[in-house]
Structure 1
Amino acid sequence: MSNSSDVAELDPTAWTREPANEPLEINDAALRAVREMIKSGQRTQLVELLKRWDPVDVMQLLTRLRLKQARKLFQWLPANPSIKVIAELRPEFRSILMEESTLEQFRDILAGLDPEDAIEILNEFPDDVADELIARLPDVEDIATRGSYADDTAGRVMARKFVALPETCTAGEAVAQMRAEASRIRKVFTVYVTDADGKLTGTVEVGKLLLAPADAPLSSFMNRDVIAVSTDTDQEEVLRLARKRDMRTVPVVSGEGHLIGRITPKQLTRIASDEANEDMLLMSGVSSEARSDDTVLRIVRGRLPWLLAGLVGASVAATVVGSYEDQLAEAAILAAFIPVTMSMAGNAGLQASAVAVQGIATGALWSGDIFYRLLKELVAALFNGAIAGTILGCLVLVASLIVPLEDPLHLALATSLSLLCVTTLAAMVGATIPIILDKIGIDPAMAIGVFITSSNDVLGVLIFFLMATTFYLG
């Protein structure tokens, strides 16, 4: 918190750190004061004021201003504060603020920085903005190297700042080296150990290093069970590995095994957020590239293919229903159960696929565990379907006491069995499809969207009419 509540009450331009998504009334005075200073063009006074604020508080201020005012204030900020502020903004806010003039400003800033510092800053930007900035820095080879790695890979997000020492280095020398590197590397959790050729051979946690005898060589107490990833490892796989092995940082090595970077805790958190957002969009039938500030054209391009895919599925389901026109004409009551069947099929499929996708994403679903998991899904689906079918059958029998129904016993039997079969089959499809997609290299989250819903709708109505024809109309 940059200022306490007591200070905020005395100074109308003070800011109190706000909890996530929870604006504080105590900051309204500061917000009004800043808006007035922007409106009246008091750039110097406002910049001097915000220099005393923490970048996180400046970020919160920006997100509470109107977009036009936020852009103007951001352009007023000098290089150092603005770089820190941009790192704190969520991707959607960052992309909104990034205009042509601002990109030119950042290009000049990055060109004057040490390549390692510039790369670290670039890692804080959304990928599309980082790519744009890299394209404007063609003469900076080290920075441009970042652009040579594919999107969503370890090479793209890794930090080049780390502490790497030879095996012969003593604990005392390692601590001294860490102190010397303190200004360059703000947070060190792990010291990497390399051989004479610079290849990663071990790691030492900082706590263990501080407790070791000063004259003990790193090779005598380092952890030789080294887990590292290559530059082309997908960032989702990096996150899965870090969670599985409880790693705070993940080393990145070249094809020859040389240590070239690390995935920091901050980057792991960002990867987790990015992957969760991407899965959420895919599960909703929206392109993973969708943003809240997209143009109308981008919105149409991102959503229309999924809507059309859903239209195809719905059309197939309608065709199935139409093919049983004679049965519906003979017993119109069957039409009342079509929404029930489709709803149960969709819900059962979505539930099973959501659990499967979560298991794949977190690494909890192992290859040797797949058969057991599918068996559990089958048994659970049978129980759920039997219970739901029994309830529906009972409701049909109760309804027959109130309204006249032809042959209610067979109608209850047909609807109960159809619900049992639909729920079971939909759950198995929902649990299996994400695993198959993952095996062939397709994001399993795509299965939860239109594909599962549409396929289960078709299967649902088909099974319902087969059961109705067999047990009710037969």
Structure 2
Amino acid sequence: MSNSSAEPDLDTIVWIREPAQKHLDANDASLRAVRDMIKAGRRQQVVDLLKRWDPVDVMQLLTRLRLKHARKLFQWLPANPSIKVVAELRPEFRSILMEETTLEQFRDILAGLDPEDTTEILNEFPDDVADELIARLPDVEDIATLATYADDTAGRVMARKFVALPEDCSAGEAVSQMREQADRIRKIFTVYVTDANGKLTGTVEVGKLLLAPSETPLREIMNRDVLAVSADTDQEEVLRLARKRDMRTVPVVSGDGHLLGRITPKQLTRIASDEANEDMLLMSGVSAEARADDTVLRIVKGRLPWLLAGLVGASVAATVVGSYEDQLAEAAILAAFIPVTMSMAGNAGLQASAVAVQGIATGALWSGDIFYRLMKEFFAALFNGVIAGIVLGCLVLIASLVVPLEAPLHLALATSLSLVCVTTLAATVGASIPIILDKIGIDPAMAIGVFITSSNDVLGVLIFFLMATTFYLG
């Protein structure tokens, strides 16, 4: 039993960094101590304690407290630790914790962040609140510039702080410039080289710069093979190019080649996480905009279209089954194999489409490699289908020894061949659709959810009855 009247020993209240999606029991005592101090209104003690903690640890504490306690704690924190905590919080937690704080507190917090971080946080607020905050911030021009770029583009997520020097600058002068700007720019991996007009002409890695003689001009040691992206390039394409070229940072240039900013390693990691979460939601038949704290109306709005699309697909499959009503009446045993066929079609299609989407996302699937990949999927699915068909045929024959079945050999042949055809066709469709969607500019992850499942269910049922009519009822 905790005693809220006793003065807690702050040195004994520590936090152990928790792995993702896991809570450590060792932190429970600290959680209770902080909660008791919040209930007792001991603001200064809480502030003194959390100033000693890393912002990530404070963020983890916030997300484990009850919402009303987390809001109060966040209001108690002075601007300096709050700034770092806000930067660590996931968007859904930011919007929940800060919804009752004042505009002045928002301004104090956001004023200490980089413009790109501020812009990202402002995206979580309603438009009227965001506009009011932008008007109060000191870097309003930089924030407004970032806000002009579309969401999920390089211009929206780029950092505007970088080291850019002219070609005739010496290595020694470049090192001095890096030291002068070390406080302004947290981590410098690459120095960008520009011509007299400010256009990007090359890059020099920091390691190479430090090893070069101090009088060496940058033009003699710079890498002229520079891969840059435009500000309107989709962030997923930026990530793909960075992985393909093994780049730690990616420069962003204007249409005429002037350097605008850079995509930092932190931003690349964030893009990878965002894209993975978006693909996961799309593959599950959920809107990419879904959040854990969505209202009932927003949940319905985000999920209902996908559910209705699945309903249409299921209705078409039911219509196909209904059109073979006479065949089912003649041989009711066929109904037992419909779930088997639909399951195999769905699984084969999902497996093939998942591999295709992954290849597209990572850049491993090249245009010249598409036909070869499709042929591999076709023959692999054919081989899997043959094995699955043989297993199913054997099970039918074994079952006929226990349960009386009419023409078991023909039934085994019909079900086995249908499984071979369904598996092969479903995998081919599953591998092809994401590639087609990617070519026409649609996120290929959309193919994995309702679309692939529904289409393969319809094709699977249709093929099954065609085989059954030909080899069992014919």
Query: Which TM bucket (shorter chain)?
Result: over 0.9
The whole-number CA distance in structure 2 between the counterparts of 1:130 and 1:256 is 35
Compute the displacement of 1:25 (Å). Answer: 3.0
- 1:350-401 Cα offsets, whole Å, 9 max, x none, are 0000000000000000110000000001100110111101110111111111
Counterpart in the other structure of 1:471: 471
- 1:433-474 Cα offsets, whole Å, 9 max, x none, are 000100000000000000000000000000000000000000
The whole-number CA distance in structure 2 between the counterparts of 1:304 and 1:135 is 34
Counterpart in the other structure of 2:265: 265
Compute the displacement of 1:124 (Å). Answer: 5.5
Q: Is the 8 A contact 1:345 1:426 kept in 2?
A: yes
The whole-number CA distance in structure 1 between the counterparts of 2:103 and 2:236 is 29
Compute the displacement of 1:192 (Å). Answer: 0.3
Q: Is the 8 A contact 2:414 2:468 kept in 1?
A: yes
Counterpart in the other structure of 1:364: 364
Compute the displacement of 1:134 (Å). Answer: 5.3
Counterpart in the other structure of 2:5: none
Compare 343-352 and 119-128 and name the one that shifted more. Answer: 119-128
The whole-number CA distance in structure 2 between the counterparts of 1:130 and 1:51 is 31
Corresponding position: 1:133 with 2:130: yes
The whole-number CA distance in structure 1 between the counterparts of 2:121 and 2:183 is 23
Counterpart in the other structure of 1:400: 400
Counterpart in the other structure of 2:44: 44
The whole-number CA distance in structure 2 between the counterparts of 1:109 and 1:405 is 75
- Number of aligned residue pairs: give it: 463
Counterpart in the other structure of 2:438: 438
Q: Is the 8 A contact 1:87 1:124 kept in 2?
A: no
Letter in 2 for 1:61: L
Q: Equivalent residues in 2 for 1:4-15 (5 A)?
A: 11-15=11-15
The whole-number CA distance in structure 2 between the counterparts of 1:215 and 1:405 is 90
Q: 2:115 aligns with which of 100, 115, 119?
A: 119
Letter in 2 for 1:17: R
Q: Equivalent residues in 2 for 1:130-169 (5 A)?
A: 133=130, 136-138=133-135, 140-169=140-169
The whole-number CA distance in structure 2 between the counterparts of 1:102 and 1:279 is 35
The whole-number CA distance in structure 1 between the counterparts of 2:66 and 2:452 is 41
Letter in 2 for 1:384: N
The whole-number CA distance in structure 2 between the counterparts of 1:102 and 1:468 is 69
Q: Is the 8 A contact 1:13 1:30 kept in 2?
A: yes
Counterpart in the other structure of 1:385: 385
Q: Is the 8 A contact 1:414 1:471 kept in 2?
A: yes
1:166 to 1:130, Cα distance in 2 relative to 1, 3 A: farther
1:453 to 1:104, Cα distance in 2 relative to 1, 3 A: farther
Letter in 2 for 1:284: S
Compute the displacement of 1:144 (Å). Answer: 1.1
- 1:34-57 Cα offsets, whole Å, 9 max, x none, are 111111111122112211221111
Q: Is the 8 A contact 2:345 2:423 kept in 1?
A: yes
The whole-number CA distance in structure 1 between the counterparts of 2:301 and 2:330 is 44
Compute the displacement of 1:11 (Å). Answer: 3.3
Counterpart in the other structure of 2:286: 286
Corresponding position: 1:90 with 2:64: no
Q: Is the 8 A contact 1:95 1:129 kept in 2?
A: yes
Aligned partner of residue 305 in structure 1, secondary structure:
helix
Compute the displacement of 1:61 (Å). Answer: 1.0
Q: Is the 8 A contact 1:175 1:209 kept in 2?
A: yes
- 1:84-140 Cα offsets, whole Å, 9 max, x none, are 001112233223223152555223444x55xxx540432563743497535631472
- 1:173-193 Cα offsets, whole Å, 9 max, x none, are 000110000110110000000
Counterpart in the other structure of 1:3: none
The whole-number CA distance in structure 1 between the counterparts of 2:86 and 2:299 is 25
The whole-number CA distance in structure 2 between the counterparts of 1:55 and 1:432 is 46
Q: Is the 8 A contact 1:172 1:213 kept in 2?
A: yes
Q: Equivalent residues in 2 for 1:155-194 (5 A)?
A: 155-194=155-194
Q: Is the 8 A contact 2:82 2:109 kept in 1?
A: no
Counterpart in the other structure of 2:3: none
Q: Is the 8 A contact 2:164 2:194 kept in 1?
A: yes
The whole-number CA distance in structure 1 between the counterparts of 2:152 and 2:89 is 20
The whole-number CA distance in structure 2 between the counterparts of 1:224 and 1:154 is 22
The whole-number CA distance in structure 2 between the counterparts of 1:221 and 1:369 is 36
The whole-number CA distance in structure 2 between the counterparts of 1:130 and 1:186 is 30
The whole-number CA distance in structure 1 between the counterparts of 2:378 and 2:165 is 53
1:103 to 1:441, Cα distance in 2 relative to 1, 3 A: farther
Counterpart in the other structure of 1:5: none
Aligned partner of residue 136 in structure 1, secondary structure:
helix
Aligned partner of residue 402 in structure 1, secondary structure:
coil
The whole-number CA distance in structure 2 between the counterparts of 1:107 and 1:300 is 34
Counterpart in the other structure of 1:105: 105
The whole-number CA distance in structure 1 between the counterparts of 2:256 and 2:267 is 24
Letter in 2 for 1:434: P
Q: Is the 8 A contact 1:192 1:200 kept in 2?
A: yes
Q: Is the 8 A contact 2:35 2:69 kept in 1?
A: yes
How large is the Cα RMSD of the aligned pairs?
A: 1.8
- 1:239-281 Cα offsets, whole Å, 9 max, x none, are 0000000000000001110001000000000000000000000
Compute the displacement of 1:141 (Å). Answer: 2.1
Aligned partner of residue 137 in structure 1, secondary structure:
helix
Aligned partner of residue 261 in structure 2, secondary structure:
strand
Q: Is the 8 A contact 1:138 1:144 kept in 2?
A: no
The whole-number CA distance in structure 2 between the counterparts of 1:391 and 1:188 is 60
TM-score, scaled to structure 2 = 0.94
The whole-number CA distance in structure 2 between the counterparts of 1:213 and 1:430 is 56
Letter in 2 for 1:119: P
The whole-number CA distance in structure 2 between the counterparts of 1:10 and 1:144 is 43
The whole-number CA distance in structure 2 between the counterparts of 1:120 and 1:234 is 16
TM-score, scaled to structure 1 = 0.94
Compute the displacement of 1:19 (Å). Answer: 3.0
The whole-number CA distance in structure 1 between the counterparts of 2:422 and 2:28 is 55
The whole-number CA distance in structure 2 between the counterparts of 1:9 and 1:339 is 63
The whole-number CA distance in structure 2 between the counterparts of 1:26 and 1:128 is 33
Compute the displacement of 1:301 (Å). Answer: 0.5
- 1:388-431 Cα offsets, whole Å, 9 max, x none, are 01110111111111111101111111001100000011001100
Aligned partner of residue 361 in structure 2, secondary structure:
helix
Which 5+ residue runs of structure 1 have no aligned equivalent? 1-7
Q: Percent identity?
A: 83
Compute the displacement of 1:24 (Å). Answer: 2.9
The whole-number CA distance in structure 1 between the counterparts of 2:249 and 2:102 is 32
Q: Is the 8 A contact 1:353 1:430 kept in 2?
A: yes
Letter in 2 for 1:133: A
Counterpart in the other structure of 1:212: 212
Q: Is the 8 A contact 1:228 1:252 kept in 2?
A: yes
The whole-number CA distance in structure 2 between the counterparts of 1:441 and 1:434 is 11
Q: Is the 8 A contact 1:103 1:133 kept in 2?
A: no
